[in-house]
Amino acid sequence: MTDPPTLVTQIGQVFARDAVQFLRQRAVVLRIALLPVLYVAIAFVTPSVLSQHQGSAAQPQLRVSTTAAVAATPFGQFLRSLPGYRVDVAASPRQRVSRDEADLAVVATASGGVTLSFDPERERSRLALAITSASAANFNLVQTLALLPAEQVVTARQALLQAQPRSIRGRDVRKLATLGSLLGFALLAFIARSSNALAIEKDRRTAEALLVLPLSSAAIVLGKAAHQLAQAATTSVIAIAAAIVGGQVAGADYHLNHSAAALVLTMVDMLTVAALLIATGALIGTLVRGVTESAVWTSFAALPMVAAAVTLPFIESPAAWLRWLPFFGQFRGMQDALTGTPSWVHEADVGTVTAALVVVLLALATRWLRSDNAVLRATT
Partner 1 sequence: MTDDPAIRVVDLRKRLGTRDVLRGVDFSCRGGRHYALLGPNGAGKTTTLRIVAGLLSCDAGEVVVAGESLATRARAAHRHRIGYVGEDSGLDARLTVREVLRFVAGAYGVRRPDPAIDALGDELHFGEYVERRCGALSKGTRQKVAIARALIHDPAVLLLDEPTANLDVDASLAVETALASDSLRRRTVILSTHRLDEAERLCDSVIGLYEGRVFVEAVIADVAAEASGAPDFRRGFVALLNSQRVGATAL
- Residues lying near partner 1 in the complex (CB under 8 A) are found at 1-5, 9-10, 13, 16-17, 20-21, 24-25, 204-216, 370, 372, 375-376, 379
DSSP-derived pairing of the beta strands 106-110 and 62-66: antiparallel
Whichever of 216 and 330 has its CB closer to partner 1, that residue is 216
Give 160's DSSP letter.
H
Residue 172, CA atoms < 13 Å, CB-side half-sphere = 26
Closest separation between CB of residue 210 and partner 1, Å? 8
Please tell me the total number of residues recorded for the chain in this structure.
380
- Class of residue 12 by CB neighbours under 10 A (exposed 0-12, middle 13-18, buried 19+): middle
In angstroms, give the least distance from the CB of 363 to partner 1.
18
Nearer to partner 1, 343 or 379 (CB): 379
CB of 171 or CB of 367, closer to partner 1: 367
Residue type, 318: P
Q: Whole-number minimum distance, CB 227 to partner 1, in Å?
A: 14
Question: Considering the complex, what minimum distance in angstroms separates the CB of residue 46 from partner 1?
Answer: 36
Residues 6+ apart with CB under 8 A from 350: 272, 323, 324, 325, 326, 329, 330, 333
Compute the distance between CA of residue 60 and CA of residue 83 in angstroms, rounded to an integer. 9
Let me know: does 64 contact 79? Beta carbons within 8 Å. yes
CB of 255 to partner 1, least distance (A): 45
How open is the CA angle 302-197-333, to the nearest 5 degrees? Answer: 45
First to last CA, the chain: 34
CA 49 to chain centre: 20
Tell me whether residue 9 or residue 352 sits nearer to partner 1 (CB atom): 9
Name the residue nearer to partner 1 (CB basis): 13 or 167. Answer: 13
What angle in degrees, to the nearest 10, is found between the helix axes of 344-369 and 260-287?
Answer: 20
For partner 1, which is the closer residue by CB, 72 or 209? 209
- Minimum distance from residue 18 beta carbon to partner 1 (Å): 9
- DSSP element (H, E) containing 94: none
Residue 376 C-beta: closest distance to partner 1, Å:
7
Nearer to partner 1, 30 or 315 (CB): 30
